Chains A and B, each alone.
Chain A
Amino acid sequence: MNLYEYEAKRIFEAGGIPVPPAVRITKPEELAKVHFGYPLTLKCQVMSGGRGKAGGIKFAKDLEEGKALAKDLLQLVIKGSKTESLLVEPMVSIAKELYLAVTLDRERGCPIFIASAEGGIEIESSHNVLTEPIPFPYHPYVGRNLAAKLGLKGAVMAKVADLANKLYKVFESKDLDLAEINPLVITKGDDVLALDGKIIINDDSIGRQPAFKGWMEAHLVDMSPRERRAKMTDLNLVELDGNIGILCNGAGLTMATMDMVKAFGGQPGNFLDAGGGSDQKKTLAALELVNENPAVDVILLNILGGITACDEVAGALVEFMKKYPERQMVVRLRGNNQDVAEKMLAASGLKLYPDLEEAVKEAVSRSKNATKKPALAAKA
């Protein structure tokens, strides 16, 4: 889950990391409550990157100019991401900008510091980047080593080392995938300040982070409404632009099925991994999600039951077909309790395909013959 800058900074501040004073506004008039004087920085709160280049950061010399800018900025959409609010901060006198982040490195299998003496840049395109593996258990010398390697000296070195240690503590205690400060500013008065921040919270950890309880729905802004609903019901849905709705159990098998549809000349309308062990209720919810996509002409259901019981899937299918008798379905169902499932489905007249390749070819062929019609309504 990605957080907005203002949320990230509140978390940094609570972790003892210095941030500029700030006010968040959602209406231009609210600028009147700013207590730190002008000139000001106004920053769009959006999930997308490249905010500065897209005109999402402006400077105001007085209240009048601020209000006019705020009015425009609040309506700005950056790379499809709507401005949620504005973060208003005083302008800072900058002596030097650094980059500092903590993330998990999947290749090394451990957390790492990523740091650069060139801040305010796109870290992916910078050549001057340090990566430092973080050992368990953590000790503060790791932060000192990092600050020293960045070429810092004296009081600034000690301040950056302390900040790095605090950043790791935040990363660990809040279960983050990323804690990034860019730029980390050294002011003309030799203070260190997190001028911009980004936090990604690990989705699997939210259940043990009471502070983030209930945040998920408001932060899934880069997903379609169906993808959002899937996420909230623990299904993995990715919408694609074809007309074959794919529903499988397990990520690898779902990807493989999607690839095969494409390889045999069809167009996947979505990727839906219902996960292992889905029961009748969850399978039905998954079928409904695929069915609701108006572009889908054929549903291809491919279940290889390991921990998923075929009879649970069959139960969902029987219920679904009663509700949507017109829906084109190609079903491949194998594994655990397959015989029970076959008996349950025998009356429905639904043909089962034991072979995956045959099922995919049938779905592709039906998708080409499908006549375009409006989304199928449920039978009354």
Chain B
Amino acid sequence: MILVDKHTKVVVQGATGKMGAAHTKRMLDYGTNIVAGVTPGKGGEKIHNVPVFDTVMEAVKTTGATCSVIFVPPYLALDAGYEALDAGISLLVLITEGIPPQDTAKLAAAVKAKGAKLIGPNCPGIITPGQSLIGILPGSIFKSGPVGMVSKSGTLTYEIALALTESGYGQSTCVGTGGDPIKGLDYQEVLSMFEHDPATEVIVMIGEIGGNAEEEAAAFIKKNVKKPVIGYIAGQTAPPGKRMGHAGAIISGGKGTAESKLEAFKANGVRVAMTPGEVAKQVAEAIKQPAKA
């Protein structure tokens, strides 16, 4: 497992909002160690029996939280992120969609300067099955096991995790890095953590059209990752110049195509799955034959 386990103490920023409250409940039901909620002006209240604080600073001081999951509205996210960093939070999980990318760039720079980590924004969060679910992933489709997953997508991750679980292959940790063009953790950082994680035997990397993060990750894998990696790219039939749902999913000026990413996978020893269903089959083969293809 990487980044989070059952001991990870989590504070929820925006815990009393509609979405924050609903997911606080679901995370608690899953067994996540939620120690505090933060909503300015609601300090002293409780949400699903979790104490609510006015500031992250107070929440951290009282509970020792090290991770914050952020559900605040898009234009308040930068401030919430700065607040978490300043309070000493070392892992920020930013679920919010629709954050102005210039705000994300500022937050990502501050996160880097502090030596902290940011997952997201516009992401489903992270899960170490059986231990900790931080975000909005549906816990029931994940199961503990040897597959590490890193993905730009939410529901597509669920689709592939479901197929893996149903085929008997559980997951060590699944990280949804988010669908925005500017974001925190990238593939390389997560791949590197999986490579050094004893619980991870096989890595699944789910990408999509737009940008060149998959190409760079493929080159990184060739140099730095010995464990088998299975790659899948969504948007193989997407027309150029059109934004396909995610802010970052666009082929522009001939760049960011699925072909380019699949080529890079093949050239660097990443095993390619052409459909979500094929991922589970490739994982089964990789576990039987862990040597690089």
Chain A residues in the interface with B (C-beta under 8 A): 104, 106-107, 109-111, 124, 136, 172, 175, 177, 202-205, 207-208, 236, 238, 240, 248-256, 258-260, 262-263, 268, 271, 273, 275-277, 304-307, 334-336, 356-357
From A202, A254, A277, B244 is in contact (CB under 8 Å) with A254
Task: Report the bound CA distance from A172 to B242 in whole Å.
Answer: 25
Task: Report the bound CA distance from A194 to B238 in whole Å.
Answer: 36
Determine the chain B residues whose CB is within 8 A of the CB of A334 once the complex forms.
162
- Cβ of B77 to closest chain A Cβ, rounded Å: 11
Residue interface mask B265-293, A partner, CB < 8 A = 1: 00000000011110000000000000000
Determine the chain A residues whose CB is within 8 A of the CB of B110 once the complex forms.
136
- Cβ of A171 to closest chain B Cβ, rounded Å: 8
Determine the chain A residues whose CB is within 8 A of the CB of B74 once the complex forms.
204, 207
Residue interface mask B131-162, A partner, CB < 8 A = 1: 00000111001000000000111111111001
Residue interface mask B247-270, A partner, CB < 8 A = 1: 111000100000000000000000
- Whether A356 lies near B181 (C-beta < 8 A) is no
- Whether B100 lies near A104 (C-beta < 8 A) is no
- Whether B234 lies near A104 (C-beta < 8 A) is no
Residues 214-231 of B at the A interface (beta carbon under 8 Å) = 216
Task: Report the bound CA distance from A77 to B141 in whole Å.
Answer: 52
Quick one: given A271-B244, A273-B244, A336-B138, are A253 and B102 in contact (CB under 8 Å)?
no
Residues 81-136 of B at the A interface (beta carbon under 8 Å) = 97-102, 105-106, 108-110, 124, 136
Task: Report the bound CA distance from A46 to B136 in whole Å.
Answer: 42
Determine the chain B residues whose CB is within 8 A of the CB of A208 once the complex forms.
75, 100
Chain B: residues with Cβ within 8 Å of the partner, total of: 60
Binds A, one of B8-16, B29-37, B51-59, B203-211: B203-211
Closest to B232 in A: A256
- Whether A306 lies near B154 (C-beta < 8 A) is yes
Residues 161-204 of B at the A interface (beta carbon under 8 Å) = 162, 179, 181-183
Of the listed residues A124, A256, A258, A334, the one surrounded by the most CB atoms of chain B closer than 10 A to its CB is: A256
Closest to A250 in B: B155
